Structure 1
Amino acid sequence: MVEGVQSGKCPNAQLSSWFVRSGWSKGELARQVNRRARQLGAHHISTDTSRVRRWLDGEQPREPIPRILSELFSERFGCVVPVEELGLRSAHRSPAASGVDLPWAAPQTVTLISEFTRGDLMLGRSGFLGNSLAMAAGPELVEPMQRWLVPNPSPAAEELPAPAVGERPDLSAPELDLLEQTTVMFRRWDAQCGGGLRRKAIVGQLHEVTELLEEEHPERMQRRLFGVTAELAELAGWMSYDVGLQTTAQKYFVLALHAAKEADDRPLGAYVLSNMCRQMIHLRRSEDALELVHLAQYGSREGATARTQSMLYAMEARAYANLGQPGKCKRAVRMAEATFEEADETDSEPDWIRFFSEAELCAETAHSYRDLAYASGRSPTYASLAQPAMERAVALFAREAAESEGGGHRRSYALNLIGMAGLHLLRREPKGFASCAGEAIDLAKLLRSERVHNKLRTTAASAVHEFGDVADVVELSRRLEAELPEEAAAVAG
Structure 2
Amino acid sequence: MPEPSRPQELPAGLLANPEMIRACRLRNFTRVFTLVKAHAGIYPSMIARRCELTPSRVGEVMAGRRQLQHMDVIERIADGLRIPGHMLGLARRSWETPAPLARERKPSQAVAAESATSAAVPSAEVDTVLALTARTNPNPSTLEALRSSIEDYWRRDDQHGGETLRPAVVGQLRYVVGLLKENRPEPIRHGLYGVAAELARLTGWTHFDARQFSQARAYFKEALHFAKEIDDREFMANVLACMSLQATYEDKPGDALAFVAAAQDEARTAAGTTPRVLSMLSLREAFAHASLGSQSATHEAIDEAHRQFERIQPNDVDPAWVTYFDVPKLIVDTGIAHGRLGEAATAEPLIADALRRENSSNHRGRAFHAFWLARTQLKLGKLDQACRTATEALEPAMSVVSERVAGHLREFHDELAPYRREPVAVVFESRLREALPRQLNGSPRP
Fold conserved (TM > 0.5)? yes
CA distance in 2, matches of 1:449, 1:43: 31
Give the aligned partner of residue 13 of structure 2.
63
Aligned length in residues: 352
Q: 1:349 to 1:123 in 2, by over 3 A?
A: farther
Give the aligned partner of residue 208 of structure 2.
241
Give the aligned partner of residue 72 of structure 1.
none
CA distance in 2, matches of 1:477, 1:43: 42
Give the aligned partner of residue 398 of structure 2.
445
Within 5 Å, which residues of 2 pair with 1:200-239?
Answer: 200-239=167-206
Q: 1:475 to 1:92 in 2, by over 3 A?
A: same
Q: 1:169 to 1:434 in 2, by over 3 A?
A: closer
| TM-score normalised according to structure 1 size | 0.65
Judge which range, 346-355 or 447-456, deviates more.
346-355
Structure number with bigger Rg: 2
Give the aligned partner of residue 321 of structure 1.
290
Encode CA deviations 1:207-256: one digit per residue, 9 max, x unaligned. 11111111110122111100000001101111111123222111111101
| Residue 315 of structure 1: how far off its partner (Å) | 0.3
CA distance in 2, matches of 1:275, 1:165: 36
Q: 1:116 to 1:306 in 2, by over 3 A?
A: farther
Within 5 Å, which residues of 2 pair with 1:362-381?
Answer: 362-373=331-342
Give the aligned partner of residue 165 of structure 2.
198
1:423 to 355, 373, 376: 376
Gaps of 5+ in 1: 3-41, 46-60, 68-90, 100-110, 134-163, 374-381, 402-406
Do the aligned residues in 2 keep the contact of 1:120 with 1:128 (CA within 8 Å)? no
Judge which range, 238-247 or 221-230, deviates more.
238-247
Do the aligned residues in 1 keep the contact of 2:197 with 2:226 (CA within 8 Å)? yes
1 or 2 for the larger relative contact order (CA 8 Å, sep ≥6)?
1
Q: 1:488 to 1:120 in 2, by over 3 A?
A: farther
Judge which range, 341-350 or 189-198, deviates more.
341-350
| Residue 371 of structure 1: how far off its partner (Å) | 1.1
Give the aligned partner of residue 350 of structure 2.
389
| TM-score normalised according to structure 2 size | 0.71
Within 5 Å, which residues of 2 pair with 1:23-38?
Answer: none
For 1:280, what is the secondary structure of its paired residue?
Answer: helix
CA distance in 1, matches of 2:383, 2:196: 46
CA distance in 1, matches of 2:20, 2:9: 25
The letter for the 2-side match of 1:312 is L
Matched, 1:128 2:83: yes
| Residue 414 of structure 1: how far off its partner (Å) | 1.1
Encode CA deviations 1:135-188: one digit per residue, 9 max, x unaligned. xxxxxxxxxxxxxxxxxxxxxxxxxxxxx9999342121111111111111111
2:259 to 251, 273, 292: 292
Within 5 Å, which residues of 2 pair with 1:28-427?
Answer: 44=9, 62-63=12-13, 91=17, 123=78, 126-128=81-83, 168-301=135-268, 302-303=270-271, 304-345=273-314, 348-373=317-342, 382-397=343-358, 400-401=359-360, 407=361, 409-427=362-380
CA distance in 2, matches of 1:415, 1:335: 25
| Residue 299 of structure 1: how far off its partner (Å) | 1.1
Matched, 1:466 2:418: yes
Find runs of 4+ consecutive structure 1 residues off by over 2 angstroms. Answer: 42-45, 61-65, 91-99, 114-130, 164-170, 343-348, 487-490
CA distance in 2, matches of 1:115, 1:372: 49
| Residue 62 of structure 1: how far off its partner (Å) | 3.7
CA distance in 2, matches of 1:94, 1:350: 36
Do the aligned residues in 2 keep the contact of 1:286 with 1:323 (CA within 8 Å)? yes
Judge which range, 341-350 or 432-441, deviates more.
341-350
Hey, which of these two has a bigger chunk of helix by percent? Answer: 2
1:481 to 403, 427, 433: 433
TM-align CA RMSD: 3.5
CA distance in 2, matches of 1:392, 1:483: 26
Encode CA deviations 1:290-333: one digit per residue, 9 max, x unaligned. 00000000011033211111010000000000101000000000
For 2:247, what is the secondary structure of its paired residue?
Answer: helix
CA distance in 2, matches of 1:165, 1:445: 42
CA distance in 2, matches of 1:453, 1:176: 36
1:432 to 385, 388, 391: 385
Encode CA deviations 1:33-88: one digit per residue, 9 max, x unaligned. xxxxxxxxx9959xxxxxxxxxxxxxxx94378x6xxxxxxxxxxxxxxxxxxxxx
